[in-house]
């Protein structure tokens, strides 16, 4: 989160007028991350911060902020809105959660401060997850979490591009969106371009995971078409592996122990490592062709 990474709370005009009037040094604010455009901590309360400076005009800060005030974290964590909504008084009687949050948003002219009982409830939940540590440590942890989230949410196109480069570094011949007549396989690897041109079977099939059932159906088709092929699913995170393993115990049981999952983060790390040594690797992998 930019707030923790840079140690500042920001606002944009024309909302800054209200923020600067309502939020002053010594005040505590609770940060909520909406679902719009977020990568992590979505729809959750994430921090209790103390404002430690006066507001000043922003200069070269991220987020397009007009004005900023320095803050320090008091409690950090992740309290999902759904886990506490029923206990928050400012949510009760509202038509929607959005309306409830707007009612305590300091940039809303009609907003009022969050009731102390509600604020204390959220703070207590944050405290249960908070381990006292230096502010630099907390900021570094937040930055690491954001980087990991960006890796996990990399687009399928970015991951496939990196996978293509990995294949080329290892001296395989990759083909994207191979049309079998029944399905399009995200990426297939052949031993060489010559074997591809001759119509020989590929060595491996890779599928990104958007829909587990469809992904497994594609890989089952590849296995039926090319008996000795290795099968891989590229997942967004480790949690998706549980869904895949569950499906492999059901209608796709014949693929059990024949599919390997690789996370996007693992693809990114492998790509980074191989790029550092690509010339040496290309040289050594050519040995099998000589």
152, 177, 211 - which closes a domain: 152
Which of 250, 248, 207 is CA-nearest to residue 231?
207
Query: Which CATH number does the domain housing residue 58 bear?
Result: 3.10.590.10
pLDDT at 203 over 90: yes
The pLDDT of residue 211: 86
Residue 185, strand partner residues: 178
Comparing 39-43, 89-93, 180-184, 191-195, the range with the smallest average pLDDT is: 39-43
The residue among 112, 128, 152 that closes a domain is 152
pTM: 0.49
Residues 180 and 215 in one domain: yes
Say if residue 38's pLDDT is above 60: yes
Q: Which two tokens stand for residue 197?
A: 């041109």
CATH number, domain with residue 162: 3.40.1350
- Please indicate, yes or no, whether residues 65 and 29 belong to a single structural domain of this protein: yes
- Read off the pLDDT band of 240 (50, 70, 90): confident
Mean pLDDT across 228-252: 87
Q: For residue 65, what pLDDT is reported?
A: 83
Please indicate, yes or no, whether residues 127 and 238 belong to a single structural domain of this protein.
no
Q: What is the mean pLDDT of the chain?
A: 85
Q: State which of 40-54, 136-150, 179-193 shows the largest mean pLDDT.
A: 179-193
62 CB-contact burial (10 Å; exposed 0-12 / middle 13-18 / buried 19+): exposed
Mean pLDDT on 219-223: 94
Share of the chain above pLDDT 90, in %: 46
Average pLDDT (219-225) is 94
Q: Domain limits at 254? A: 156-289
Q: Are residues 146 and 162 in the same domain?
A: no
**Residue 224 pLDDT > 90:** yes
In this structure, the answer to whether residues 58 and 23 fall within a common structural domain is yes
Assess whether 145 and 241 both reside in one domain. no
Residue 135: the pLDDT is 46
> What integer pLDDT is reported at residue 197 of this predicted model?
95
Whether 145 and 276 map to the same domain: the answer is no
In a shared domain, residues 142 and 22: yes
Number of domains observed in the structure of the chain: 2
Same domain, 174 and 278: yes
Q: Is the per-residue pLDDT at 73 higher than 80?
A: yes
Among the three residues 114, 135, 152, which one is the final residue of a domain in this structure? 152
**270 and 282 in one domain?**
yes
Is residue 219 within 8 Å of 255, Cβ to Cβ? yes
- Per-residue pLDDT tens digits for 110-164: 999 999 999 999 999 998 876 544 444 555 555 555 555 555 456 888 899 999 9
Segment 41-58 shows an average pLDDT of 90
Instruction: Judge whether 69 and 23 are in contact, CB under 8 Å.
Output: yes
Residue 265 sits in the same domain as residue 166:
yes
pLDDT in tens, 76-112: 888 999 899 999 999 998 888 889 999 999 989 999 9
Residues 145 and 195 in one domain: no
Per-residue pLDDT, 123: 93
Q: What is the mean pLDDT of residues 216-238?
A: 92
């Amino acid at each position: 989160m930019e707030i923790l990474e840079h140690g500042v709370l920001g606002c944009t005009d024309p909302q800054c007028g209200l923020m600067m009037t309502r939020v002053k040094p010594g005040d505590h604010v609770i940060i909520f991350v909406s679902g719009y455009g977020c990568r992590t901590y979505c729809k959750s309360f994430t921090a209790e911060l103390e404002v430690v400076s006066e507001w000043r005009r922003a200069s070269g800060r991220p987020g397009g902020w007009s004005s900023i005030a320095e803050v320090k974290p008091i409690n950090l964590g992740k309290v999902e809105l759904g886990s506490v909504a029923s206990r928050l008084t400012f949510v009760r009687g509202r038509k929607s959660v959005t309306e409830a949050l707007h009612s305590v948003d300091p940039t809303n002219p009609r907003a009022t401060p969050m009731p102390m009982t509600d604020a204390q409830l959220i703070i207590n939940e944050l405290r249960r997850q908070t381990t006292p540590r230096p502010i630099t440590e907390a900021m570094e942890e937040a930055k690491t979490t954001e980087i990991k989230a960006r890796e996990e949410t990399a687009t399928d196109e970015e991951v496939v591009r990196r996978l293509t480069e990995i294949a080329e570094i290892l001296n395989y011949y990759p083909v994207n969106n191979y049309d079998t007549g029944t399905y399009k396989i995200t990426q297939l690897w052949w031993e060489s371009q010559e074997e591809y041109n001759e119509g020989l079977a590929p060595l491996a099939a890779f599928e990104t995971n958007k829909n587990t059932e469809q992904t497994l159906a594609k890989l089952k088709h590849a296995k039926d078409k090319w008996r000795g092929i290795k099968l891989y699913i590229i997942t967004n995170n480790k949690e998706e592996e549980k869904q895949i393993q569950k499906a492999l115990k059901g209608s796709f049981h014949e693929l059990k122990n024949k599919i390997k999952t690789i996370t996007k983060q693992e693809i990114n790390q492998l790509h980074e490592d191989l790029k550092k040594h690509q010339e040496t690797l290309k040289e050594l992998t050519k040995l099998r062709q000589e």
